[in-house]
Amino acid sequence: MILPSPKFVAFGLLAMNNLVGAHPGEDEFIHPADVGHRQLETTGRHIQARNCAPQIAAHIATRKAKRALEGKPRMHRRGIDSLPQGIAPWRRHGQVIARASTCVTAPEVTEGPYYINNELVRSDVREGEAGIDLLLDIGVIDTTTCQPLEDAFVEIWSCNATGSYAGFTQVVLGPPPSSTAPTPAGGRPLPGMSDQLTFLRGGAPTNENGILEFKTIYPGYYTGRTIHIHAMVQTNYTVFANGTIGSKNGDLHHIGQIFFDDALTDQVVTLPTYSNTTQTRTRNEQDRFLQGANTDGYNSFADAEPLGESIEDGVLAYITIGVDTSRHVNITTNNYAQTITWEATPTTGLF
Comparing 33-42, 104-113, 220-229, 259-268, the range with the smallest average pLDDT is 33-42
- Asked if 237 contacts 35 with a C-beta cutoff of 8 angstroms, the reply is no
Q: CATH homologous superfamily of domain 11-323?
A: Aromatic compound dioxygenase (2.60.130.10)
| Nearest residue to 294 via CA among 37, 47, 13, 74 | 13
- Asked if 157 contacts 164 with a C-beta cutoff of 8 angstroms, the reply is no
What's residue 8's pLDDT? 33
| Nearest residue to 27 via CA among 128, 112, 144 | 112
Q: Where are the domains of the chain?
A: 11-323
Burial class (CB in 10 A: 0-12, 13-18, 19+), 192: middle
Could you tell me the sign of the dihedral formed by the alpha carbons of 224, 228, 232, 233, in that order? negative
pLDDT band for 327, please (50, 70, 90 cuts). confident
Q: Is the pLDDT of residue 74 over 90?
A: no
pLDDT in tens, 171-214: 877 644 433 344 444 445 667 899 999 999 999 999 999 999 99
| Nearest residue to 301 via CA among 136, 67, 128 | 136
Single-letter amino acid code for the residue at 269: V
- Asked if 107 contacts 293 with a C-beta cutoff of 8 angstroms, the reply is yes
pLDDT in tens, 2-21: 333 333 334 444 333 333 34
Q: Is the pLDDT of residue 43 over 70?
A: no
What's residue 290's pLDDT? 80
